[in-house]
Structure 1
Amino acid sequence: MSNNDLKDTYVDKGGWSFAKLSINRPIFITCVVLVTMITGYLSMRTLPVDLFPDVTFPVVTVTTQYPGAGPRETEMLISKIFEEEFSTISGVKTIRSINQEGVSIVVAEFTFSTDIKYAEQQVRDKVSSAKADLPDDIEEPVIRRVDPSDQPIVTIALTADMTEAELYDLANLTVKPKIEQVNNVGLVEIMGGREREIRVDLDLNKMKFRQVSAIQVADALGKAGSNIPSGKIDVSAKQETVFRTLGEFQTIDEMKNTIVQFLGNDVPIVLSDVATVREGLEDEKNIGYVNGKRSLLVSVYRQTGANTVAVADNVVKQVGLLNANLAKGSNKAELTVVRDGSKAIKDNLFDVQESITIGIILTIIVVFFFLASFRSTVITSLALPNSLLGAFVLLAVAGYTINVMSLLALSLAVGLLIDDAIVVRENIFRHMEMGKDARTAALHGTQEVMLAVIATTFTVIAVFGPIAFISGVVGQFLKQFGMTVCFALIISMFDAITIAPMMSAYFAGKGGHVKPGQGTGFYDRTVGKMLAWFDRFQGKLEDLYVWILKVTLNNPIKMILGGILIFAFSIYTLKFVPKTFLAAQDNGEFSVNLDLPPGTSLREMERVAKEVDTVIRGHKEVAVSLLTVGTKDGEANKANFYVRLVGAKERKVNTIQFKDIVRKELQPFSYANVQVSDFDQVGAGQRPFNVNIQGNDEKQLAEISTQVFEKMKNHPALLGVDLSYRPGKPEFQVIPERLQAERLGISTNVLGMELRTLMEGQTPAVYRLKGEEYDIRVRLREDQRNLQKEFNNISIPNINGRMIPLKTVVEGVETTGPANITRQDRARYYQISADIAPNGPGMGGAMTEVARIFKEDIKLPEGMSYKFVGQAENFGEMIESMAIASGLGILFIYLVLASLYESFVTPFTIMLVLPLAMCGAFFALALTGASLDLFSMIGCIMLLGVATKNSIILVDYTNQQMENHGMSLRDAILLAGKNRLRPILMTSFALIAGFVPIAVGLNEASAQRTSMGIALIGGLISSTLLTLIIVPAAYTYIERFRLFVNRIFSKLTGADTNVQKVE
C-alpha cells in the first residue's frame, strides 16, 4: 500500500470508540476473539450435561415406618405430631402428609426464599424433640431433601434360570456392587425380588399347649442371638484388651435349641417345641416383568450434581462387562437395559443442536440473498461462532449446565446474534455503495448505527434480565434461559461493533458493490442471476414501501385505528387458544397405572396387570413394556407400566396418538381405574391436573369430592379423571373391653404387640451366612395367620406371664377403613387428578371450570376449601410470573430507550410495536392449534425485546436525519423507510430463519417446544409489517406531542430544551 493510499484511507483518531479501536488494532481484536472461542470450546466440553437446569425444591420429607399400623394409627400417632411441630418453623409454606398401612410420610414445603439447608436442620430438630411423643416401636424416621433429579437414570432387568433366592443374591451380591463402583453412581435399588430370611413359624396350638406367647419367643431369640461388647481394660502400660460376648447364632440348629421358657419344675421349652425354623424368603411386596418375562429390576441413581449422561453411559458399559461374565455361567443370566434416562437428554440436546445448526444455515442464506455478496455474508456470519462459544464461557462462570433450556436459548438467539452484525455490515455496505473507501465506510457506517445496535441489544437484555429474579419453579427454569440469552447478546454486540468494522475495513474489497449476475461464469449464470433478480425486487419493494408510507402519512388516524382493531381482534382469538402449563410430550414413552379396590391381593393384581400387559404388547409399535405389580410401600392393589415405543421412523403414529389407541383398548379394564399418562421425566410423581378438596369432616369431604368428580370426569380439557377417595379397605378391628382386660392384668400395649408379632412378625435378631446378614422373623405360620378365623384360639400374656384367651378381653368387629389418609395444612383432603386432553381447552379451561363449580354449583361449607397443586398450581404461578416479567420488561425497555435517546417521549414511538407483536403471536397460536403454555409464553416475553429492533432501526435513522440534516419529519420518515427497509427485512427474516427449526419440530423430542417458535414467528411477522405502517403514522403525533411538551417545559422553567452536548 502506497503512502498516498494511506493518506486517502487514514482514519481520524480523535475521540475513542470500539470501531476505531478495532480498525486501528486488528491483531488485538483478533486475539481477543480467538481467546474467547478457545475458552468457549473448552467450557462447552467440560460443562455438566443434563435434561433441565438444576432446580432446588425447598421441600423436606420425613418418612416413618410403623409395621402393622393402619392409616388411622399412622395419622394420629405420627403425622399429626410432626405436623404440629413443623408448623412452627419459619418459612414453611405447606405441610402435607400421606398415611398408609405401616408408613407415615410428612412433606414440609417451604417458600423459595428459605435456605433449604436451614429448613432441613430445623426439621431434624423438630423430629428429635417429638420423639418422646411417638410410639416406641416405630423405625427411625428418615429425613431427606426432595431433589427432582433423584430418580433412576438407568433401569436394568435381570433374568436367569434360578430360584428367587439365588436371583436376588446374584443381583445383591454381584450386580449391585459392580454398578456401585461406577463413578458418581449414588443409590442402586433392587425391586421385584425377595431377600432370604430365617423364618420362625409359630404353631398356635403348640404355643397354647405350652403357655408360650409370641412376645416371649421373640424376646428370647433377641437376647440369645446377639453379640454384645463388654468393655475393655488395660492389661499393661502398653496394651489393652477388648472383651465381647458373642451370642449370634452360627447354625439354624442352634436357633432351634434356644430356650424360650421354663415350664413347671424348670422343664425347658426350646424353640423347636413351638415353632418350625427354616430358611425362606421375605414377603412378596412387588413383582417385575419385562416384555412379559418375570424379571428382577435394578434401578440406578446418580449422585447429586453428577453428569447424568456420563454416569448413564458408564453404567451401560458396566452392564456390558457384567453380561460378558454372566454369559460364562450355565444359568442363562442376562442384564438388559430397559430404560436409559440419558437417551431423552441426548435426544433433546441433539434436537436443539440440530435446530441451532439449521437456524445458522438458514440465517446465513437470508443474509447472502439480501447482501448478494459472499464476502459480506462471511463477515456478517463471523458473529455467530464467537457469540455462541463465548456464551459457554459465561455459562461456566455462572455455574450453569448444558441443558435443554440453555441450548434452547442459544437456538433462539441465533437470529438475534447476527442481527447486530447485519445492521452494522448493511450500513457499511451502503456507505461503500456511496463511493467511500473500505476503512472510512467501516468507521462511518458503524458509528452511524452504534446507538441503534446498543439500544436493540439492551432492550432484549432488559426483557430477560427481570426473568432472573422471578421466584418459584417457573423462575428457576427460566433463569438459566434468560441469562444465557443475555450472555450471548453481550458478546454479539461486542462482535458487531468490533469484528464487523475490522473485517469490513480490511477484507471487504475496494469500492462499491459489484452487481450480481453480470459475469459469464457458471456462478453468475445461476446463483448470480437469482441474486440479481432479488436485488431488483428489493429496489421495487423499496419504491412500493415509499408509496405506502406516503399513503400512511396522509391518513395516519385510519392506520392507527386499523392497528387498534387488529390488536382487539387478536385478544378475542386468544379465548380459542388452549392454555396449559406444558404441552403433552411426544417422546416415545409413557406410563400406564392400574388401581384396583383396596384389599386386593398381590396375586389378583398380578393377574389383571398381565392381561393388560398382553394388550399393550400386542402392538408392534411397543419396544419395551416394563410392568411393576405392587409398590415399594407394599400397596398390593396397584400396578405401573413403563412403555417405550420403537423409533419414530418405525411407526406410523406419534406417542400422543398411540396413547389414545391404548386408552380405547383398555376400556374393558375400567374397573382397574386405568390411567394412561406422560412418563414423569422430572420425578414429581404427579399428573398434570390436580385439585385438592380439604376438610375435617370425613363424610362431608367424601360427598362433596364425589360431586365435583362427577361434574369434572367428562370435561373436554381432561383425560382419565380420577378421585383419590376409595371405599374402605376391609378391616377386622380388635376392641379391648377395658375393665375386663385390666382386671386380668392385660395392657393394651401388650395386647397390640402380641397380635402384631403373630400377624406382621418381629425381627429380633439376625443370622449371618458367608458374610451376609439375614433377618430372623418370628410370627405365626401362614395357614394360622388369619386373626379373624383363629380368633377363639389366640391367647394373650398378662402381667404375670399367664396366657389369657383373647376372646375374654376383646371384641372382634368387621368393618372397613381407609386405604390411605392424605392431609394438607392439618386437614384431610381428597384429590381430583387428570391428564390434559391434547385437543381440548387446556389447563386453563379445567381450572376455570373448577372455580365455576365451587362458585355456582357447590357451595363449600365452612371449614372446607380447595387448592390447585402440581402443574395446575405451577400454571397459576406461571401466569403471575409472566405478568410480572412482562411488566418489568416493558418498564426496563422504556428506561433503556429513554436513557439512550435522552427523551421520555421518543421511547413510546418505538414501543408501539409491542402490542402489534402480540397480535401475531396470538393469531399464530390460534391458527396452528398450539397452546399458550410455558414455552409459548417465553416466546411472547422474548418478543417484547425482539420486536423493538425494527422500530429502533426506523426511528433512530429518522431522528438522525432531522437532527443532523435538518429534514422535516415527513421527509425524514420517507428517507428512513427507503434506506432502512432492507436492514429491517434482513433482521426480521434472519430471526424468523433462526426460529423456523423450533416451530417445525424436527423430531419427537422437540414437539413440546413448537409453540415457542410459532409464537415468535407469528409475532415477528406482525410486528415487522405493522411497524412499517403503524409506527410512522403514530410518530407524526408523538413527535408533535414531544415538541409541545418541550415548549410547555421551556415556558415553565425558562430553560432551553434543546440541550447541547458538551464536547
Structure 2
Amino acid sequence: MQSLLIERNRAVVLLLIVIFIFGSYVYVKMPRESNPDIQIPIISVFVGLPGISAQDSEKLLVLPIENELRSIEGVRELRAFATNDGAHMILEFGTEYYNKEVLDNVRSKLSNIKAKLPVEAESPIINEINLSLFPILNVGLIGNLPERALTEIARKLKKEIESLPNVLKVEVAGMRKETVEVIIEPTVLTKYNIQSNEIFQAISSNNRLVGAGSLENDIGKYSIKISGLLKDIEDIMNIPIRSQGNAVLRIKDIAKVYPRFEDHQGFARINGLPSVVLEISKRNGKNIIDTVNQVKYLMDKAKDQLPENLKVVYLNDQSKNVRDVLDDLENGIIFAVLLILIIMMLSMGTRIAILVALSIPGSFLIGIIALYFMGITLNIVVLFSLIMAVGMLVDDAIVISEYADRKMICGMDKIEAFHTSVRDMFYPVLSSTLTKLAVFFPLLFWPDTVGKFMQYIPITIILTLTGSLIMALVFIPTLGAIFGKPSITSKKEIKKMSAIESGEIKNAGPIIRAYTRMLEKVLDHPKKFICATVFVLFSFSVLYLTFGPGVKFFPKVDSDNILISVKAKESLSAKERDLILKEVEERILSVEKEIHVSYARSGAFSDNIIARIQLELMDWRFRRKAKHILNDIRSSVQDMKGIIINVQEEKLGPSADKPIQINLSGSASNLNLAAEKILKIMDQPSSGFINIQDSRSAPEIEWNMSVDKSKATSSGVSVATIGDFIKMVTNGVLIGKYRPNNTDEEIDIVLRFPRRDRNMKTIDNLFINTVDGPHPMSNIVKYAPEKKVNKLNRIDGLRTVTISADVDTGYLVNERVKFIQNSVAQDWDKGVKIDFKGDKEDQQKSGAFLLKAFILAITLMILVLVTQFNNVYHTFIVMTAVFLSTTCVFFVFFLIQQVFVVVMCGVGIIALAGIIVNNNILLLDAFHHQIKVHKNDIKRCVINAAISRIRPILLTVATTVLGLIPMITRLNINFFTLQITYDAPSSQWWVDISTTIASGILAATVLTLFFTPALLVIQRHEKT
C-alpha cells in the first residue's frame, strides 16, 4: 500500500493540498459559539391561577399535578413550588431517558389532570431549557428621554434587529407594557348601578371583526365584512354601555380614559442611569461572532437617527470570549509548531522537523472537516480541546520520521527508508494511536449535564488523533520520500548513530553511554528496583489521597462578571425596592473603578429577591482578580441593615448553582428547627461559608378577605362580582383588549378607581350594587391581617427547605460538607431527611463515571495490546506504564500540594494512560526485533532495545509536554500583535488537566526507561 502511495505521490500531495485548502475554508466558515448546544434534561411547567395563596396552590394545583407527573418514566427529581398566583414544577430527567417523546408525555399527563384542577386555572405553560437560546449580546439604551419615546425607539430597534438573518429573537427588558386605564369613581358605579361585567360585555360586543358572508350576482362576487374593531382611545370612549329611549350612556359619560403604562413593578438602570435593554438571541448553528458584528453594524447605522442624548452600550458580549479562545488556539498552534520545529531541528534536521511540524495543522484540519460534517460548531470546549490536543498530534509522525531518519543515516535511500519505516513501525504506531483512542472512547458516554458539556473533548481529540494517524502513515512518508534527507552527514555522528543500531555502546554518544551504565546497574538487581519503585509510588499515593490538600469538583476560573442579589421583604413597594437598589448601586460604583458596566434591575424576583445587579468588569489585563473586587464590594455594603446582599462571581462551566446545597425534607415545624440549626452552624465566624441563602419566605402579613356567602347570595351578589370591586382598588379589572393603529401589540383595557381611592379605607366605604340597591361592602366582606406565605417548596413529594451557600477562598466544598455533617451528627432530628447536593453530588457522579471509564479504557487497551503482541505478559508490561503514570501524578501532586480537580485531573489521568503506554509499545516492539537476533543474550536484547528507542521516546514526550507548556504556564504569546499575557481566564480552565498530563508523563517516562527493561529481564530469569 505504501509503495503505491509513494509511486502516486502527486495524487497524495494534491489530496493534502485539498485538505489544507478545504480545511482552512471550513475553519473560517464554521459557526463560533460560546456555550455548547447542550440539551438540558429539564422541563419546567407553570400553571397560573391569579389570586390563589401559596397554601391553596399546594393543595389544589401542586399535589394533583405532582401525583400525575411522578409516573413519567425517567424523572430523576421533581421540584414543585407553590406560590401566590400559581404553581411551578421542574422535572429533571436522566439524560438516557430524555428524548423528543418526553415533552409529549408531559403534555399528555397535564392534559389528563386538567379536569382535576380548579376551573379558573390557566392552561399549563411548558418550557424546555436550551442554552443556545440564551442571549449572546445585550444592547443598552441610556438617556433621559420620556418613557414613551424610549419605548418607541426600543420597539423599532427590536424589529430591525429581529430582521437580521442570524438573530432568532429580541426580548426587551426595562420596558413597561402599554395599557389603557378606564378610571371611574366609586360613587359613579353606585349612582348608575353598574357592574364591571357590564362594561366588559359592552367592550367585547363592540370590538369585533364580523364576516358577513359574500354577495354574488351576474357581474361578480364580493365579500362583505362588518368592521367593529377598536382603533384608538376615542373609539373606547364612545362605546355605549346602555340606552333608554334616545338617551345613550357611553363610557366617556361615566369614566375618564387614559393611555398609560402598567404600574411600575421595577426599574432598570445602566451605570446608574434609566435604561431599556435589548436581549438578543441567535439562531441555532449561526456564527456568534458574525451575529454580534451584524447587530453592532446595524446599531452603528441607526445612531444617526437616534436622539443625541441617547447612549448605546453593549453588555454580555459572548463573542468576546470566543474571540479570546480563538486567539489562544491560533497562537497556541503557532507556539507549539515553533517549539516542535526547534526541538526537531536540533535532533533530526530541518527537513524532518518541517515534516513532523506539518502534521499539527494537517491533523487539525482533518479533525475540523470531520467536525463540520458532523454538524458540530466551534464552541469553547471544542476550541480548548484543540489546544489540548496540540502536544499529542506529532507522536506518530515522530516515530515514523525518526525511524526513517536512522535508516537514511545508515545509508538507506530516502524512498526505501520511509517505506521501511511504515512497514516496520506500522503496528507500533497503530497500537499507540488505538490505545489513545481507547482511553477517550468511554468519555463519549459521560452522563448528565457535566458529561454533555465535556463530551466535546473526546469527540474532538478522537477526530484529531485519527487525523494524526493518517498524516503519519500516508502523507508524512510520501512527503519524506520526496523531500527527505538524513539529519546527520558527518562521519563522527554517523558512527554514533550506527553504534545504536548495532548495539556497540562504546561508540555511542555520551547520553546513550550514561543511560546504558545506569540501566545495567538496574538490570543487575531488577526485582529490588521494581519493588522499591512500587513501594515509593504507592506510599506517596496513599499519603496524597489521605493527607493531601483535598478535592474539588471543577476548576475556579476568574470571571468578567459579578452578580449581586438583594433580598428583603416582598411587601416593599416598587419605589421602596428601587430606593434600596439605588443605595447599593451608589456604594458599589463609588468604591469600584474597575467596573466597565453596571446593569441593575429592581422588581419582585423569586426567593424574596427585590433587586439584581450585574457588573461587567474591565478587561482582565487592566484590573485585579475578581476575588479582590468581590471583597471590596462586600465591605462596601456589609453595614446595610434590613436586607441580605449576596455578591458572587458568575459561575462558569457545567454547574451554575451554588457549590453547597442542602435539602431538608420533613414536616413543616421540624423543617424550620432543622433549617435554623444548619444556618447557625454556617453563620459561625470563619466557618468558610458566604452568600448563605435559604428557600423559606420572609415573615410578612397579608389581608385576608372573608365573604359572608349567605348575605352575598341573598343580595344577589356573586363572589366574582365582589372580587372585581376589590380588584378596582388594587391592580384593576381587565375588561378588554384592543390593537391600536400605531402598534402591532395588543393592549389591555383596565377598569380602575382613581389613585386616591386605592387603599383599604375605600373597601370600608365602598357600596356594592345588589338586587335591593346599593349595599355597604363592609356588611358582606370582612378582612383581617394574616401571616403571609409566599412560597412552599417540595421535592419528590416532600415539603422541603433548601439551604445554599458559596465557599470562601481557601476552603474546599468537601471539607465544608464534612464540617456540617460532623456538626449535626450528634442530635439531628430523625424526622428530617438531610440531603447534600451541589458540587458534592456532581463530584460523586463524575468521579464514579470516570472510574468506570478508566476501567473500560484499560480493558480496551489490553485488547489492543494482546492483539498486537499476542503475549499476556508483554501486555502486562506495557500496562504497568498506566500504574506508573497514575501514581506519579499523585507523587508530584503531593510534593507541590496540588488540589485534585475531579473532572479535569480525572480526564487528565485517563488521557495520560493512553499517552504513556506509547513508550512501552516502542520498547516491546524493539525488544521483539532484538530477540530474533540475540536469542540467548536477554540482557543485551533489553539494553539494545532501550537505546534504539530512547530518541523517539524522548522526542514524543518532549513534544507532548511542549505542546502543553502554554497552558501549564498560563503564558500566551500573540504572534499577530506581539503581546505576551499571563494567566488569562481562558488559560485557567485547562491548567489542571495540562499539569496532570505533563507531570505524569515526565516522571513516568523516566521510570519507564528502567522499569520496563527490568520487567523484561525478570521474565527471562524466571523462565531460566
Q: Scaled by the length of structure 2, what TM-score is found? A: 0.90
| Equivalent residue for 2:1013, pick from 1032, 1051, 1058 | 1032
| Equivalent residue for 2:903, pick from 929, 934, 937 | 934
Cα distance in structure 2, aligned partners of 1:500 and 1:305:
35
Is residue 601 of structure 2 the alignment partner of residue 628 of structure 1?
yes
Structure-2 residue corresponding to 1:460: 436
Cα distance in structure 2, aligned partners of 1:420 and 1:634:
56
Is residue 288 of structure 2 the alignment partner of residue 319 of structure 1?
no
| 1:589/1:679 contact within 8 Å kept | yes
Cα distance in structure 1, aligned partners of 2:242 and 2:702:
33
Structure 1, residues 596-653: CA drift from partner, whole Å, max 9, x if none?
Answer: 223222222222222222232232211111111225x6988521121122223322x1
Structure-1 residue corresponding to 2:512: 542
Q: SS of 1:620's equivalent?
A: coil
| 1:693/1:829 contact within 8 Å kept | yes
Structure-2 residue corresponding to 1:120: 103
Structure 1, residues 733-760: CA drift from partner, whole Å, max 9, x if none?
Answer: 1133455545555544544454345423
Structure-2 residue corresponding to 1:441: 417
Equivalent residues in 2 for 1:141-540 (5 A)?
141-172=124-155, 174-217=156-199, 219-233=200-214, 235-236=216-217, 242=223, 244-256=225-237, 258-260=239-241, 270-272=250-252, 275-326=255-306, 329=307, 332-371=309-348, 373-509=349-485, 512-514=488-490, 539-540=509-510
The 1:316–1:933 alpha-carbon spacing in structure 2 relative to 1, beyond 3 Å, is farther
The 1:171–1:506 alpha-carbon spacing in structure 2 relative to 1, beyond 3 Å, is closer
Structure 1, residues 844-887: CA drift from partner, whole Å, max 9, x if none?
Answer: 3344445555655524416x452515x55433321122112111
Structure-2 residue corresponding to 1:776: 749
Structure 1, residues 357-412: CA drift from partner, whole Å, max 9, x if none?
Answer: 322322322222333x1122112222122111111111122221112222222222
Equivalent residues in 2 for 1:937-952 (5 A)?
937-952=906-921
Question: Which amino acid counterpart does residue 436 of structure 1 have in structure 2?
Answer: M
Question: Which amino acid counterpart does residue 183 of structure 1 have in structure 2?
Answer: P
Equivalent residues in 2 for 1:930-1009 (5 A)?
930-1002=899-971, 1003-1009=984-990
Cα distance in structure 2, aligned partners of 1:228 and 1:95:
45
Q: SS of 2:164's equivalent?
A: coil
Q: SS of 1:57's equivalent?
A: strand
Q: SS of 1:146's equivalent?
A: strand
Q: SS of 2:571's equivalent?
A: coil
Cα distance in structure 1, aligned partners of 2:302 and 2:897:
50
Q: SS of 2:472's equivalent?
A: helix
| 2:398/2:956 contact within 8 Å kept | yes
Where structure 2 has 5 or more consecutive residues not aligned to the other structure, the ranges are 495-504, 972-983
The 1:919–1:239 alpha-carbon spacing in structure 2 relative to 1, beyond 3 Å, is farther
Is residue 808 of structure 2 the alignment partner of residue 837 of structure 1?
yes
The 1:566–1:446 alpha-carbon spacing in structure 2 relative to 1, beyond 3 Å, is same
| Equivalent residue for 1:48, pick from 21, 26, 31 | 31
The 1:103–1:647 alpha-carbon spacing in structure 2 relative to 1, beyond 3 Å, is same
Structure-2 residue corresponding to 1:919: 887
Question: Which amino acid counterpart does residue 901 of structure 1 have in structure 2?
Answer: F
| 1:434/1:512 contact within 8 Å kept | no
Give the superposition deviation at 1:290. 1.0
Equivalent residues in 2 for 1:517-596 (5 A)?
539-564=509-534, 565-574=536-545, 575-596=547-568
Is residue 64 of structure 2 the alignment partner of residue 81 of structure 1?
yes
Give the superposition deviation at 1:485. 1.0
Structure-1 residue corresponding to 2:638: 667
Cα distance in structure 1, aligned partners of 2:467 and 2:703:
72
Is residue 849 of structure 2 the alignment partner of residue 881 of structure 1?
yes
Question: Which amino acid counterpart does residue 332 of structure 2 have in structure 1?
Answer: S
The 1:808–1:267 alpha-carbon spacing in structure 2 relative to 1, beyond 3 Å, is farther
Give the superposition deviation at 1:888. 0.9
Q: SS of 1:375's equivalent?
A: helix
Structure-2 residue corresponding to 1:785: 758
The 1:245–1:363 alpha-carbon spacing in structure 2 relative to 1, beyond 3 Å, is same
Cα distance in structure 1, aligned partners of 2:473 and 2:10:
15
Cα distance in structure 1, aligned partners of 2:329 and 2:622:
22
| 2:559/2:649 contact within 8 Å kept | no
| 1:473/1:874 contact within 8 Å kept | no
The 1:517–1:159 alpha-carbon spacing in structure 2 relative to 1, beyond 3 Å, is farther
Q: SS of 1:465's equivalent?
A: helix
Q: SS of 1:582's equivalent?
A: coil
Give the superposition deviation at 1:988. 0.9
Cα distance in structure 1, aligned partners of 2:15 and 2:231:
74
| 2:598/2:615 contact within 8 Å kept | yes
Identity level (%): 23
Cα distance in structure 2, aligned partners of 1:951 and 1:685:
42
Structure 1, residues 702-725: CA drift from partner, whole Å, max 9, x if none?
Answer: 221232232234575643222222
Cα distance in structure 1, aligned partners of 2:159 and 2:645:
37
| 1:442/1:504 contact within 8 Å kept | yes
Equivalent residues in 2 for 1:625-704 (5 A)?
625-630=598-603, 637-651=609-623, 653-669=624-640, 671-680=642-651, 686-695=657-666, 697-704=667-674
Structure-2 residue corresponding to 1:605: 577
| 2:33/2:322 contact within 8 Å kept | yes
Q: SS of 2:792's equivalent?
A: strand
The 1:266–1:192 alpha-carbon spacing in structure 2 relative to 1, beyond 3 Å, is same
| 1:549/1:977 contact within 8 Å kept | no
Q: Choose 65-74 or 397-406, whichever is displaced more.
A: 65-74
Question: Which amino acid counterpart does residue 407 of structure 1 have in structure 2?
Answer: L
Question: Which amino acid counterpart does residue 54 of structure 2 have in structure 1?
Answer: P
Structure-1 residue corresponding to 2:500: none
Q: SS of 1:435's equivalent?
A: coil
Is residue 867 of structure 2 the alignment partner of residue 899 of structure 1?
yes
| 1:153/1:300 contact within 8 Å kept | yes
The 1:621–1:425 alpha-carbon spacing in structure 2 relative to 1, beyond 3 Å, is same
Question: Which amino acid counterpart does residue 398 of structure 2 have in structure 1?
Answer: I
Q: SS of 1:995's equivalent?
A: helix
Is residue 692 of structure 2 the alignment partner of residue 728 of structure 1?
no
Give the superposition deviation at 1:538. 9.7
Q: SS of 2:901's equivalent?
A: coil
Structure 1, residues 291-341: CA drift from partner, whole Å, max 9, x if none?
Answer: 111111111112233332222221111111111221xx4x62332223312
The 1:839–1:925 alpha-carbon spacing in structure 2 relative to 1, beyond 3 Å, is farther
Q: Choose 456-465 or 374-383, whichever is displaced more.
A: 374-383
The 1:823–1:349 alpha-carbon spacing in structure 2 relative to 1, beyond 3 Å, is farther
| 1:415/1:992 contact within 8 Å kept | yes
Cα distance in structure 2, aligned partners of 1:239 and 1:121:
49
The 1:922–1:200 alpha-carbon spacing in structure 2 relative to 1, beyond 3 Å, is farther
Cα distance in structure 1, aligned partners of 2:256 and 2:88:
36
Question: Which amino acid counterpart does residue 654 of structure 1 have in structure 2?
Answer: K
Where structure 1 has 5 or more consecutive residues not aligned to the other structure, the ranges are 1-16, 519-534, 1045-1063
The 1:710–1:351 alpha-carbon spacing in structure 2 relative to 1, beyond 3 Å, is farther
Q: Scaled by the length of structure 1, what TM-score is found? A: 0.87
Q: SS of 1:675's equivalent?
A: strand
Cα distance in structure 2, aligned partners of 1:354 and 1:536:
44
